[in-house]
Chains A and B, each alone.
Chain A
Amino acid sequence: MAYSEKVLEHFQHPKNVGTLDKSKSTVGTGLVGAPECGDVMRLQIEVDPSTQTIIDAKFKTFGCGSAIASSSLATEWLKGKTIEQALTIDNMDIVEELALPPVKIHCSVLAEDAIKGAIADYQSKNGIAVTAMAAAH
């Protein structure tokens, strides 16, 4: 199975790899997947509380190329979005952008879950009602 150009580009030159300080109240962390399943994704956001806008996003992923590309793309999309806008990102948007084949759809679901997990973590840390719901799968 050949990978799409976009998956290859994100895989070879992933955007926003790294770690944010999870002890900061402005940082939300989503950790999804499990080593036994062959994929673990950690996605972090830093939010400007005055505008509820995501000012930074970082990820690290253990998984296949599609999972890495999905998380790299997700961090790019997140930057500059408000929490409300970020919650509208759907895994199928990632599938479409990266041209993922059907067997790789779960990698994009993982990315959507990681986004929602990071937002939920930020919200609960700051006493905001959690509006993020994990994707159904």
Chain B
Amino acid sequence: MIKEPMRVYLDNNSTTPCDPRVVDTMVPYFYQKPGNSASRNHPFGWEAEEGVDYAREQIAALLKVDPKEIIFTSGATESDNLAIKGVFEMYKSKGNHIITVTTEHKAVLDTCDKLTEAGAEITYLKVAEDGLIDLAELEAAIKSTTILVSVMWANNETGVIQPMKEIGDICEKHGVLFMSDATQAVGKIPTYPKEIGVHLMAWTSHKMYGPKGVGALYVSRKSPRVKVTAQMDGGGHERGMRSGTLNVPGIVGFGKAAEIARLEMHSDAERLNKLRNRLEHELTSRLEECYINGNVDHRMPHVTNISFKHVEGEGLMMTFNQNIAVSSGSACTSASLEPSYVLVALGLGDDLAHSSIRFSLGRFTTEEEVDFAVEKLVAGVNHMRDLSPIWEMYKEGVDLSNVQWSEH
């Protein structure tokens, strides 16, 4: 018998596997319970609606909010678009100014960018070297025309967690809405919008062990009562904010995933924190010149982003990508050769940004897998350094900033 090569998945920030318990709850909704949750006049519709209602409750319990405050969408990208464009359209008579951060996901940045065509003014807050925003800078940026502050809960590349409560307090003080892309945080750490003062919160099921293609937007209904202008016209589902037949099996799975997260989040986080620290410790003690990117005290428990100096990330991944799945901050795939804008925003030189690898552990990651990944990484970095002319120069004591490079 040929033994399958060991395959280790450390790319859980891209997407998580669907928990088998989630899959089990979804299965009946494909065939036995095929109804449209909007069909009011027969048991097929009632059954589907019950499934959706239950999921809405499971999700609301995870966030400690009212089920009516949950709007189902197709994922975080749609939720980000709905929140930001929907708030802009709903409140533009009050002002046109939106504040966000340079390290946000493209679903937020490009949405804001698009709104400038419709007359929005956007302020992009910078982050410090550790990835955190400056609260004084945020407060100073708020003006009479500001209608929305959009800050992600945890960053997808570094895992850095923003000071959410402090941001919520500032928004409350100035009477502006606070929206958060919480895609990387929900179900992994407590995310209670009402305690924090978050009025809109976007995320997706497939990063919390639920199925792909389903997400949600939390929209506060009481103090303040927030409304967003629908971005698609149609049957007026989801309290008029998001038309379209609901993805019933997906939503049922999303609900189950939320319930599991509520019950297991703390033990998962504790276990993954230990594994992540083990991975980090092994790599940084066995390899010279590695740097952890982002604030290590305000960080998701299962994520680490490490730059391996003088090794190009994409090449490094090629040494082990038959066995280990991770992400690289080097997007060296086109003539433009752009490194991760998130890492560049942290002040990393382009060379260190090109040398970075993101490891994101998950519920199904084992200690054995982490140890296997460490061995592969150490071998890969050494292989790449043996091949690297700049590692050789560095070892010879050449000051690389004095070399005449021929940029192309």
Chain A positions within 8 Å of B, measured between CB atoms, are 1, 3, 11, 14, 17, 19, 31-42, 60-65, 67-68, 103-104, 106, 109-110, 113, 117, 137
A35 touches B400 (CB 8 A): yes
Q: Which residues of A contact B335 (CB under 8 A)?
A: 103, 106
* Interface: B311 (CB within 8 A): yes
Q: Quick check: which of B139-147, B200-208, B383-391 contacts chain A, the rest being far away? A: B383-391
Q: Which residues of B contact A67 (CB under 8 A)?
A: 315
B318 touches A65 (CB 8 A): yes
Q: A-B contact count, CB below 8 Å? A: 105
Question: 1/0 per residue B337-369: CB within 8 Å of A?
Answer: 101000000000111001000000000000000
B408 touches A60 (CB 8 A): no
B391 — nearest CB in chain A belongs to which residue?
A62
Question: In the complex, what's the smallest C-beta–C-beta distance from B305 to chain A, in angstroms?
Answer: 17
Question: In the complex, what's the smallest C-beta–C-beta distance from B386 to chain A, in angstroms?
Answer: 7
Majority SS at the chain A contact face: mixed
* Interface: B314 (CB within 8 A): yes
A62 touches B312 (CB 8 A): yes
Q: Give which listed residue, B318, B334, B392, B406, contacts A33 with CB less than 8 A.
A: B406
Given contacts A35-B351, A38-B351, A60-B389, 13 further A-B contacts (CB under 8 A): A34-B407, A37-B408, A38-B312, A38-B354, A40-B405, A61-B387, A61-B388, A61-B389, A62-B312, A65-B315, A67-B315, A68-B387, A113-B406
Interface size on B (CB < 8 Å)? 32
Shortest Cβ-Cβ A-B pairs, 3 listed: A34-B405, A35-B351, A36-B350
A33 touches B408 (CB 8 A): yes
Task: Contacts A33-B408, A35-B350 given; indicate if A14 touches B312 (C-beta within 8 A).
Answer: no
Chain B positions within 8 Å of A, measured between CB atoms, are 310-312, 314-315, 318-319, 330, 332-335, 337, 339, 349-351, 354, 384, 386-392, 400, 403, 405-408
Q: Give which listed residue, B311, B318, B351, B388, contacts A36 with CB less than 8 A.
A: B351
Q: Which residues of A contact B337 (CB under 8 A)?
A: 37-39, 106
Q: Which residues of B contact A62 (CB under 8 A)?
A: 310-312, 315, 384, 387-391
Q: Give which listed residue, A11, A17, A38, A113, contacts B330 with CB less than 8 A.
A: A38
